Structure 1
Amino acid sequence: MQTIINNILQDTMYYHNMPVFIYKINYPSFGTTCSKAAAQKINKHYTRAARAAEAFCRTELYNQTVKNLRYRQPDGPVQSYTFDVVYEITYNLGCITSLYIDTYRFMGGAHGETKRTSDTWDFHTGSAITLNDILQLSSISLHNLHQCIAQQIRERLTLSPGSYFDDYSSLLLDNFDLANFYLQDNKIVIYYQQYDIAPYSTGIPEFYFPLPSPISLLE
């Protein structure tokens, strides 16, 4: 079993004494009863990622913020841009932990954008568990998976017309990413990014499948 400590990198950055860019990066570190070496490997992964995100904020995003401010109307409002990273632990049983990370960026405009990533870890080895490790995917089973997602969309459209793009069937195939999954309770959650298959108002579409019993062999 894993214990989780939350870590934060954050700052408010100024331009001409005005707060113009705020970032807050949450990232986990793990303790485990499985393998300390594995936990150290996984912790280094998240520490490096968080520091890289902070460097990106302090250079590229801050410079972009300043550039945007220079082009605003002289008497126009000063808008603080933001970069936020949050994570959610969705499965933590035995030596397996699964989580997703949402990175939200607002750099002006009507609304910001959220990018989701996810990881499922084996704390015996410190290695990532893939969707293929769990489902043993073949061309036939992958086709069936896509058909199940399409069926879930059809059911949702009956309740909420317009919540997916009209050509969602082809977009499902074009934008499918084997890395876009996480575990939750007794199910696998497969997701698509914003705008991949649905308008902004739908958010990040998620689709649910029973978690096969062989996962217990990994715990």
Structure 2
Amino acid sequence: MTSKFPVVIRTLSYCTQNINFYYPAVYIPNNSYVQGLINFTIYENMLRLSKNLMVPDIPTYVTGSYELKNNQKGVLTLSLIGFAEFGGAHPMTMIKSLNFDLSTGKDIPFYELFKPNSNYIAILSEMVLEELKKQDIMLFEDYPGVKPNQDYYIADKALVIYFQLYEIAPYVVGFPYAVIPIYSIMDLVQEGGLLDKVVR
């Protein structure tokens, strides 16, 4: 049985000539397999995020950090934040959130949060759009809605759906996001899944 208590988090650093990234590692003394799987996933995503921020033929310096969003009830959620500087050009930031089931060590994709055939894409796309309109956010005309592999994280019994820079809005808007209380979408939620766990 997975402990509902927080896991221990350590901060490690990855440093090269062009990258200085502080990232987390978990310590789970009673389950080395899950510990290893989570730490490998975090490390691989940190490297991928850093690589995605590098621009060929332009001197790029990447700094990175992380934010812990949820660490209870068998669910660990964190966001890796990478920031790239290119000299005189606009700096660029990317956020990659990881949402782990501590019973398996698996990073759970967005589509696995919901029941099959629940029409979650259409329902959540409309909920997110309504929330963004309340924030008076200037969106591109072709708002695509949410995707099966949508960026998200879990915090304070809420599902936070967010979009990358330039994905649905101009750079000046930053990272558009919508906070959806989990209790408001329980009819969509997969029983025993991450969202179900954090509200039990």
Note if 1:216 corresponds to 2:197.
yes
CA distance in 1, matches of 2:75, 2:45: 21
- Greater Cα radius of gyration, structure 1 or 2: 1
Query: Which residue of 1 is the match for residue 138 of structure 2?
Result: 164
Q: C-alpha root-mean-square deviation of aligned residues, in Å?
A: 2.9
**Distance in 2 between the 1:142 and 1:52 partners?**
27
Distance in structure 2 (CA, Å) of the matches to 1:111 and 1:128: 31
Query: TM-score, length-normalised on structure 2?
Result: 0.77
Query: Would you say the 8 A contact 2:165–2:174 is kept in 1?
Result: yes
Distance 1:164 1:61, change over 3 A: closer
Measured in 1, the distance between the counterparts of 2:197 and 2:176 equals 27
Paired residue total = 184
1:75-90 to 2 correspondence within 5 Å?
81-90=60-69
Give 1:172 deviation, angstroms.
3.0
- Residue of structure 2 equivalent to 1:202: 173
Match of 1:108 among 87, 94, 98: 87
The match for 2:24 is 28
The within-5 A match list for 1:95-134 is 95-134=74-113
Judge conservation of contact 2:157–2:199 (CA < 8 Å) in 1: no
- After superposition, the C-alpha distances for 1:15-47 in whole angstroms (9 at most, x for unaligned) are xxxxxxx53111111013663210111112233
Alpha-carbon distance, 1:216 to partner: 2.0
Q: Give the residue type in structure 1 aligned to 2:115.
A: Q
The range that moved more, 144-153 or 125-134, is 125-134
Question: Which segments of 5 or more consecutive residues in structure 2 lack a partner in the other structure?
Answer: 1-5
SS at match of 2:119: helix
TM-score (norm 1): 0.71
**Pair 1:40-2:36 in alignment:** yes
Kept in 2, the 8 Å contact 1:35–1:125? The answer is no
After TM superposition, list the pairs within 5 Å mapping 1:126-145 onto structure 2. 126-136=105-115, 138=117, 140-145=119-124
Picking from 2, 6, 9, the partner of 1:4 is 9
1:188 corresponding residue in structure 2: 159
TM-superposed CA distance for 1:123, in Å, is 1.7
Specify the code of the residue in structure 2 equivalent to 1:206.
Y
Report how far residue 126 of structure 1 moved.
1.4
The structure that is helix-richer by fraction is 1
Which structure 1 segments of 5+ residues have no match? 14-21, 66-80, 158-162
- After TM superposition, list the pairs within 5 Å mapping 1:35-74 onto structure 2: 35-50=31-46, 64-65=58-59
How far apart, CA to CA, are the structure 1 residues paired with 2:106 and 2:56? 34
